[in-house]
Amino acid sequence: MVNKSVFPFFFVALLLLGSTLAVPSVLAVKDPREIDTHPPIHIKKFSGISPSGYNPQIIWNAYGFKNLTCSHTTTTDWNDPNLCGHGQTIAIVDAYNDPNIASDLQTFDTQFGLPSCQANSCLVKLEPQGHAKTNSGWALETSLDVEWAHAVAPGAKIVLVEAANSYLNNLLDAVDAGVGQGAKQISMSWGGSEFSSESSYDYHFNSGTTSFFASSGDSGSGVEYPAASPFVVSVGGTTLNVDSSGNYIGETAWSGSGGGVSAYEPRPAYQNNFNPYGGRTIPDVAYDADPNTGVAVYDSVIYNGQSGWFEVGGTSAGAPQWAAISAMANSENANLVSTPFGTGTALYGAASGAESNPQTTPYVSNYHDITTGNNGACGTMCNAGSGYDEVTGLGSAKSDSLIPYLTPAPTPDFAISANPSSLSVASGSSVSSTITVTSVNGFAGTVSLSVSPSTSASFALSSLELVPGGSNSTILTVTPTSSGTYAVTGTSGSLSHSTSVSVTVETAPSAPQSLQGTVGDRQASLSWQAPSSTGGLPITYSIFRNGTQIAPSITTTSYTDTGLTNGDTDTYYVEAVNSVGASIPSNTVSVTPQPVPSLSVAVSPNKLSYSTGSTAYITVTVTSGTVNISGASVALTVTAPNGSTSQSSGTTNSNGQVVFGVHIPKHAQKGVYTASAIASDAGYLSGSGTATFQVT
């Protein structure tokens, strides 16, 4: 990976002793890793506690955003589906950490009445190379990018990806991380000198899900990377002029706008009719960039001793706002992606006709053609002109026309539904469902209906007429002989949609399954499984003993029959019952109740008297009649003269015994102790026993 440092492209207007300071442009070097890392900031004006420069309302007005059907304000929050960019994710890729971006964006939103973009929901920060240090110049860049992407597309989620530093390898990793976060648009307000192997890094921008936007540079004529990549939309700069009401007057080329012919990237196909050179030319489009017509940005990270409101320009301002334009188009189903040069093809396609006549549509409808101004003294290539030029590209967006142009017209269609879609009916009876077809995207015409199977089903109307935006219904009547699903299909030309109606024919339930009986003392415990079919209706159970019903309307799958005579055998079966009738009987079981034997428990200390500090060994023996009971659970409680107790538990061995060792502390109370044991085992009544011993 080339370790190439790059620079954010923006201009800050800061009044500082009445002078203008400038950082030299990026130097050309053989090894791109030799480029120093520092932001090329031109400082002119700082406005302090109140914003100056163009605000969002002016930009919305000038570039046509206010005329869109989507909204930039809401009474709810950023999830409002009516907001521009709803459902999209814009990744802002910058270097270093801006610790205050969430609160700075909140200040910006409050100032201009924008929907709040809360941290960890609307605004998500990502640091793929770990937590980076803060750089005040890049923090101002981050504020510009995040605030103005949100200002133009307030319904979009913003993922801020902060690279560890400004080297190209880390920034490209950050780009990949943005794509991995599901961003459909990525803004890159940075770049550096071209280098001979740059095309080998273009794969970072070749995506079937995402568009990429990069600033063309702020040093005038010249080509920067990644703006030179044919997979990236390069954004140049203009001077935007508006009247006192914020209405668009015109634009001229900004002198700092990067542009020219790439030394290493070939001309992409979408530029064939616009670009006479063999190499890729930049920029593709333009946006307001002149710091004298800059935008208001709030940044609380101290920059050159100042924090608050700045007036900021540069091609940095254009990249995030063009990413927001793409988000608005994609929100309307445009599906702009970079591969194979898809976004570039769409943007140049929206300028169709400008190749031979810049006054033709759709070019004049979709773009402001910037025809005056220059970015250097290199002749024609440095001068803005009619149609495409290497200073302002195709021009700036007339967004209220360009965005709808990029959005494909929705295909007329229809939807079909059934209500109800699940029915129950007695055998031999009929049942009905309402079938409704609804116009989608202005569909109008005849929808023909069919049903399968058709032998027991019919429509009141077999075809329905629809008008744009309307709906129509008919009745499907079914007289089924068995349960099943009816597929209803509507067809109009090549369009076909289906719905289904499930019909259950009500019958008596099938028999309960796997009836079992368990012997008890003068009782029989019965359990069974539900029938394989309930007949489509709620069921209960009836219990029969020796052929006589003894318990109707049982709602569970178990029953205990009590009051029986031990030694007498009784035979049981169960029937399932619904409103249609009773099932055939389940299997039968015979149960002969028997007395439950009880356990006898003997407790035997190994001595009658113990001294303090010794151990008493207490044997518990469990029997039933003459049989020693192994595996019985025994709980032993030892109670002292003062009433305090200690507990132990164990299980009897093959001899029916368990031995407990009870330690008698040195300071134990003297007197008579009682050892009580309770034993239990399946199939037996529990038993208990006690014994006493002396502590001296």
Structure tokens at 542: 């009836």
Whole-angstrom Cα distance, residue 531 to residue 108? Answer: 67
DSSP one-letter code for 220: S
Nearest to 366 by CA among 294, 289, 285, 293: 285
SS3 686: coil
* Residue with token string 């076909």: 496
End-to-end distance of the chain based on CA atoms, in angstroms? 86
Nearest to 256 by CA among 137, 378, 376: 376
* Residue with token string 């070749």: 206
The Cα-based distances of 162 to 128, 138, 310, 450 in angstroms read 7, 10, 22, 58
Whole-angstrom Cα distance, residue 287 to residue 299? Answer: 22
The pLDDT score that the predictor gives to residue 19 is 28
SS3 440: strand
Whole-angstrom Cα distance, residue 150 to residue 47? Answer: 22
DSSP one-letter code for 205: G
- 59, 75 contact by CB (below 8 A): no
The pLDDT score that the predictor gives to residue 606 is 96
Whole-angstrom Cα distance, residue 557 to residue 578? Answer: 15
User: Angle 318-331/136-152 helices, nearest 10 degrees?
Assistant: 30
Structure tokens at 619: 């044997």
Nearest to 280 by CA among 259, 266, 260: 266
Whole-angstrom Cα distance, residue 485 to residue 495? Answer: 23
Q: What domains can be seen in the chain, in order of their start residue? A: 7-406 (3.40.50.200), 413-506 (2.60.40.10), 513-591 (2.60.40.10), 600-695 (2.60.40.1930)
420-438 confidence digits (pLDDT tens): 999 989 888 999 999 999 9
544-603 confidence digits (pLDDT tens): 999 999 999 999 999 999 999 999 999 999 999 999 899 999 999 999 998 889 999 999
The pLDDT score that the predictor gives to residue 9 is 72
Whole-angstrom Cα distance, residue 272 to residue 630? Answer: 94
DSSP one-letter code for 35: S
Nearest to 45 by CA among 11, 71, 75: 11
Q: What global pTM score does this model have?
A: 0.64
Whole-angstrom Cα distance, residue 116 to residue 438? Answer: 37
The Cα-based distances of 118 to 55, 96, 331, 533 in angstroms read 21, 21, 21, 54
HSE-up of residue 218 (Cα within 13 Å, Cβ side): 30
Structure tokens at 654: 């093959």
Beta-carbon contacts of 492 under 8 Å, excluding residues fewer than 6 positions away, are 414, 443, 445, 446, 447, 448
The parts of the chain modelled with pLDDT lower than 50 are: 1-2, 14-44
What's the residue count for the chain? 696
Nearest to 280 by CA among 238, 225, 209, 354: 225
Which amino acid makes up residue 472? N
DSSP one-letter code for 83: B
Other beta carbons less than 10 A from residue 546's beta carbon: 11
The pLDDT score that the predictor gives to residue 530 is 97
The pLDDT score that the predictor gives to residue 357 is 86
Q: β-strand 7-8 against 190-193: which pairing, if any?
A: antiparallel
Other beta carbons less than 10 A from residue 113's beta carbon: 11
Q: What is the DSSP secondary-structure string of 346-414?
A: HHHHTTTTTTT-TTSTTHHHHEE---S-BSSSSGGGGB--SSSBTTTBT-EE-HHHHHHHHSPPPPPEE
Whole-angstrom Cα distance, residue 42 to residue 314? Answer: 9
- 194, 2 contact by CB (below 8 A): no
The pLDDT score that the predictor gives to residue 23 is 32
The Cα-based distances of 403 to 322, 324, 336 in angstroms read 11, 11, 11
Whole-angstrom Cα distance, residue 209 to residue 229? Answer: 17
The pLDDT score that the predictor gives to residue 5 is 58
